[in-house]
Amino acid sequence: MASGRKRSRLQRKKEKDSIKQALTYLFLIFLVLFLMIKLGLPALIKMAGFISNISSAGKKIETEEILPPRAPKLFPLPEATPSGKLNIEGYAEPGITIQLFLRGISAEETTADNEGNFIFNDVHLRDGENEIYVIANDDRGNSSDASRSFTVTVDKDAPLLIIDNPEDEQKFFDNDNPITVRGKSEEDVDLRINERLVLVQSSGDFEINLSLEEGDNQIEAIARDNAGNETKKTLIVNYSP
């Protein structure tokens, strides 16, 4: 008997909930009909589109906020330098944090200015090869892809330069003119003798013919490597026609 009364109360509760739900649907139907009559169907459609646009804009903004920053750009760096210090410059999004990596290790951080420019002054490089690149980090913890990397070699050694012929203070006569300047250096150097560019063979050998004037003639040879290191040799020869 008690069980029957309990089921009866549950049924009455379900009926009340169903009536409330039905009344809610009816209210919404009447509200839509009222708005259609009051505002017209086109206005109701525009209102629905406006609400949809607001929702879409919110989703778009939320999506953009999680995008990582664009990869920063480095200005070209030299292939080699005789100095252990180097200024490294580039550009990125204004106000973003730039992280510098040397040989794959985080070295320094700086912030791009209002125009997006950034610079690391007097960066210490080790002897030999140094791989250099940067990434950008925003204030939400997002990181960009790495920039293009450059490898800069620190080379403090002056290039080899030997002049085998002629000898300093050597004298030449009559048909000895022109003379051949011959010696040895390094393949990749920029070699100039009396300001004339001289080709250096893969073996390091070089030679060039020079015309002499009567009296003393100065022969100046300068070898310069990619890092800017120089070796200079100067000698004097004498010519009597």
HEC string for 133-152: EEEEECCCCCECCCCCCEEE
Domain match, 117 and 77 both: yes
**Which pLDDT score, from 0 to 100, does residue 119 have?**
98
Residue 199, pLDDT > 80, answer yes
pLDDT for position 29: 74
At 56, the pLDDT band (50, 70, 90 cuts) reads low
| Residue 117 to residue 120: CA distance in whole angstroms | 11
SS3 154: strand
- Position 26 scores a pLDDT of 74
From start to end of the chain, where are the E strands?
73-74, 80-81, 85-91, 97-102, 105-111, 117-124, 128-137, 150-154, 162-165, 171-173, 179-184, 190-193, 196-198, 205-210, 215-224, 230-240
End residue of a domain, out of 154, 170, 193: 154
Could you give the count of Cα atoms lying within 13 Å of 132 in the half-sphere of its Cβ? 29
Specify whether 167 is located in the same domain as 234. yes
pLDDT for the residue numbered 49: 62
Which of 24, 48, 65 is a domain's end point? Answer: 65
Same domain, 61 and 87: no
Q: How far apart are the first and last CA of the chain?
A: 146
Is residue 207 predicted with pLDDT exceeding 80? yes
Longest dimension (CA), the chain: 146
Task: Among 100, 122, 154, identify where a domain stops.
Answer: 154
- What is the pLDDT, as a whole number, of residue 214? 94
Judge whether residue 215 has pLDDT over 60. Answer: yes
Q: Looking at beta carbons, which pairs linking 110-114 to residues 24 or more positions away fall under 8 Å? A: 112/72, 112/136
Question: Quick one: 203 and 222 in the same domain?
Answer: yes
Q: What percentage of residues in the chain have a pLDDT greater than 70?
A: 79
Q: What is the pLDDT of residue 6?
A: 47
Higher pLDDT, residue 175 or 13: 175
In the prediction, which pLDDT does 193 show? Answer: 97
In the structure, what pLDDT confidence band is assigned to residue 3 with cuts at 50, 70 and 90? Answer: very low
Q: Which of 40-44, 119-123, 133-137 has the lowest mean pLDDT?
A: 40-44
One-letter identity of residue 218: Q
Domain total for the chain? 3
Is 169 in the same domain as 217?
yes
Q: 137 and 181 share a domain?
A: no
* pLDDT value of position 178: 94
- Distances in whole angstroms, Cα of residue 219 to Cα of each of 164, 175, 179: 13, 19, 11
pLDDT greater than 70 at residue 65? no
Residue 118: CB atoms within 10 A of its CB come to 24
pLDDT in tens, 166-184: 999 999 998 899 999 999 9
The pTM for the full model equals 0.62
**Angstrom distance (rounded) from CA 153 to CA 130:** 6
Are residue 46 and residue 80 in the same domain, yes or no?
Answer: no
Q: Are residues 136 and 179 in the same domain?
A: no
Amino acid identity at 172? F
Query: Distance between CA atoms of 193 and 234, rounded to whole angstroms?
Result: 10
Give the pLDDT confidence of 96-133 residue by residue, as tens digits: 999 999 999 999 999 999 999 999 999 999 999 999 99
Cα–Cα distance between 114 and 235 in angstroms, integer?
56
More confident residue, 164 or 41: 164
Residues 135 and 204 in one domain: no
d(CA 30, CA 25): 9
Residues 150 and 210 in one domain: no
What local confidence, expressed as pLDDT, does residue 2 receive?
46
Q: 32 pLDDT band (50/70/90 cuts)?
A: low
pLDDT higher than 50, residue 240: yes
Per-residue pLDDT, 210: 95
Mean of the per-residue pLDDT values for the chain? 86
Indicate which CATH number applies to the domain containing 202: 2.60.40.10
- Expressed as residue numbers, the domain containing 14 is 2-65
Kindly state whether residues 52 and 89 are assigned to the same domain: no
Packed helices 41-65 and 2-39: angle between N→C axes, nearest 10 degrees = 100
